[in-house]
């Protein structure tokens, strides 16, 4: 999977987020069941996590299971939960060894009890990891996150009290998570699909036709190189207009 590749430029994003799309279509195109696509996508997850840890990207968030995904066929949902538990069980030791702190992000209380238990166990076991924070967005929706934050604020603030951005951020699922610098989406779709709507306000976006099971370090490196060339203005105008080579 191109293990020898690595960026020869800076800066790299502090926080990379990925919408891992195309598993089902990849499987159908090969006459396979959709779950086979998710199984193949799990191999890509492992390699991308490893690459980010090796390359010095401190935060990686993967859109693993959206709030809307609960409407998929029961057999697919159960299979995805099984793959998640298998990932947690099989990779716990490797995450600890590589200094990777795993965290869940979303309405985690909606996950099956055994999945919640496995996730909580690995979160505790990897809490000391300082090389990479890997967040799995599970039962996650950006609108739902904002609604949950507003509901929490109404319980905490007196009626009529002004609400600041800092107040709302403090009630998000992970207030300490930095905003994503770069969001990648695979498989040709060009939308956020309810992902990190609050946090993605000034994120750079990069899209590829490549489905997630075929996404390799070469594609990741291409996205990072494109990010490196961009000038981020955050709504302002830089003192000197320049475009990195």
Can 21 be counted among the known catalytic residues?
yes
Structure tokens at 194: 């309810």
Q: How far is CA 98 from CA 17, 53, 54, 163, 176, in A?
A: 20, 8, 9, 40, 22
Number of H helices, E strands in the chain: 7, 6
Task: Please tell me the distance from the alpha carbon of residue 47 to that of residue 15, in angstroms, as a whole number.
Answer: 17
The CA-CA-CA angle for residues 114, 143, 16, to 5°, reads: 75
Which segments of the chain does DSSP mark as H helices, in order?
23-28, 34-55, 74-97, 113-125, 142-156, 165-169, 217-229
Can 69 be counted among the known catalytic residues?
yes
By the 8 A CB rule, do 48 and 220 touch?
A: yes
**Cα atoms in the Cβ-side hemisphere of radius 13 Å centred on 40:** 21
Active-site entry in 8, 23, 47, 69: 69
Give the catalytic positions in this structure.
21, 69
């Amino acid at each position: 999977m191109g293990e020898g590749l690595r960026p020869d430029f800076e800066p790299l994003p502090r926080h990379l987020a990925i919408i891992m799309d195309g598993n089902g279509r990849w499987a159908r195109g090969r006459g396979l069941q959709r779950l086979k696509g998710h199984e193949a996508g799990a191999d890509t997850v492992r390699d991308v996590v490893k690459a980010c840890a090796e390359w010095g990207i401190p935060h990686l968030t993967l859109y693993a299971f959206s709030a809307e995904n609960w409407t998929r066929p029961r057999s697919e949902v159960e299979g995805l939960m099984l793959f998640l538990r298998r990932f947690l069980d099989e990779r716990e030791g490797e995450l600890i060894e590589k200094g990777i702190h795993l965290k869940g992000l979303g309405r985690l209380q909606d996950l099956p009890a055994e999945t919640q238990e496995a996730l909580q166990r690995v979160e505790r076991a990897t809490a000391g990891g300082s090389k990479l924070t890997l967040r799995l967005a599970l039962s996650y929706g950006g609108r739902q996150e904002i609604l949950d934050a507003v509901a929490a604020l109404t319980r905490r603030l007196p009626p009529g009290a002004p609400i600041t951005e800092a107040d709302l951020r403090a009630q998000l699922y992970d207030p300490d998570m930095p905003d994503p610098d770069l969001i990648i989406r695979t498989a040709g779709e060009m939308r956020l699909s309810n992902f990190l709507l609050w946090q993605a306000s000034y994120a750079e976006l990069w899209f590829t036709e490549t489905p997630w099971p075929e996404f390799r370090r070469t594609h990741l490196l291409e996205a990072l190189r494109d990010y490196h060339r961009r000038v981020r203005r955050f709504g302002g105008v830089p003192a000197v207009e320049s475009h990195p080579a």
